[in-house]
Amino acid sequence: MRRREKASKILENMKKVIIGKDEVLEKVLICLLARGHLLIEDVPGVGKTTMVKALAKSINLSYCRMQFTPDMMPSDITGITLYNRAQEKFIFKKGPIFNQIILADEINRTSPKTQASLLQAMEEAEVSIDEETYQLKKPFMVLATQNPIEYQGTFPLPEAQLDRFLMRVSLGYPGVNEEKEIIKNYQESKWLNKITAVACEEEIIEMQKEVDEIYVHEDILHYIVGISNASRSHKDIHLGASPRVSIDLYRGSRALAYIKNRDYVIPDDVKKIVPYVLTHRLILSAEARIEGRRAEDIIKDVLKRVHVPVVSGNEG
């Protein structure tokens, strides 16, 4: 089976338990193939954790769920060095971050100090403990959930942490027919029993390498940078897109082109992922917040201000 067909198989596998959210599942796969991390922000009970478990079961990678709490310490994530009396030496006991698929459940319920323990792992795929640096096994992906409604006992993610997430998605409530199907599925079987692995570690790594080979025309690259620049000069935006955002747009658009079975990126690939890559990273101006402006609407205005290139896949 061709690897691109494997990507489609992963999506189909996840659709068995996540009903009617094909667009969101596509973003999950984009993040995986682009070597990115995903922030899932939504109210309780809509399937955030189930979606992550469905991904973990669809690909044969090590998986760990970490339930974040206010009393959680950085060592609970990264690991700790203990003294072994029998061997008369210190031994490092690895923490859950050394798995490949990490579910950081309710990430905003732990302190900024503990949140910060994820930064190096998410950016560099490594962990430094006691003057030693340990490489994390690839592929490596963090999928974090948080409830945007409940603020009591939570710690808002700082900009540096938000910037580590390639995308932010929201599942939202299902439609009436979709919710009926969800109930039937729940009654008939334990949802995740329908899921078996359809891809292994080596195949995921090879797919990521193939995404790296997707062609991006110079005009598309200029379009990506233009979007980031436009966000920095918009009157309603206090803090615009960083160069990391431009890199993530580049990576994400190539992954989307790969999923769509193309060997090149088109402008629509970039436009389609812009809201998911930018929204959680922008800080609106005080005036925009007072007026009740939404980041999504401002991003639409930013896109209108940037010239859309006309390129074909044959160029280059």
Contacts of 10 (CB under 8 A, 6+ apart): 29, 55, 58, 59, 198, 199
**pLDDT at position 1:** 45
- Return the higher-pLDDT residue of 187 and 185: 185
Instruction: Write out the two tokens for 108.
Output: 């905003």
> For position 25, what pLDDT does the model report?
94
pLDDT of residue 177: 86
Q: Cα-atom radius of gyration of the chain, to the nearest Å?
A: 20
The per-residue pLDDT for range 145-177, each reduced to its tens digit, is 988 766 666 788 888 888 999 999 998 888 888
Helix (H) or strand (E) holding 41: strand 38-41
Of 9-18, 28-37, 97-106, 222-231, which gets the smallest average pLDDT? 9-18
> Pick from 22, 31, 12, 20: which is nearest to 207 by CA?
31
Residue 224, pLDDT above cutoff 80: yes
Mean pLDDT of the chain: 88
Residue 59 and residue 301: Cα distance in Å, rounded? Answer: 38
Give the range among 99-103, 134-138, 312-316 with minimum mean pLDDT: 312-316
DSSP letters of 178-230?
A: HHHHHHHHHHHS-GGGG----EEHHHHHHHHHHHHT-B--HHHHHHHHHHHHH
**Angle between the 243-259 and 218-233 helix axes, to the nearest 10 degrees?**
140
Q: Which residue has better confidence, 187 or 160?
A: 160
Kindly indicate the confidence band of residue 219, based on its pLDDT and cuts at 50, 70 and 90. Answer: very high
Over range 62-70, report the average pLDDT.
92
Question: Which of 120-124, 223-227, 270-274 bottoms out in mean pLDDT, i.e. has the lowest?
Answer: 120-124
CB 25 within 8 Å of CB 12:
no
Q: What is the mean pLDDT of residues 264-290?
A: 93
Q: How is residue 232 written in tokens?
A: 């920095």
pLDDT beyond 60 at 188: no
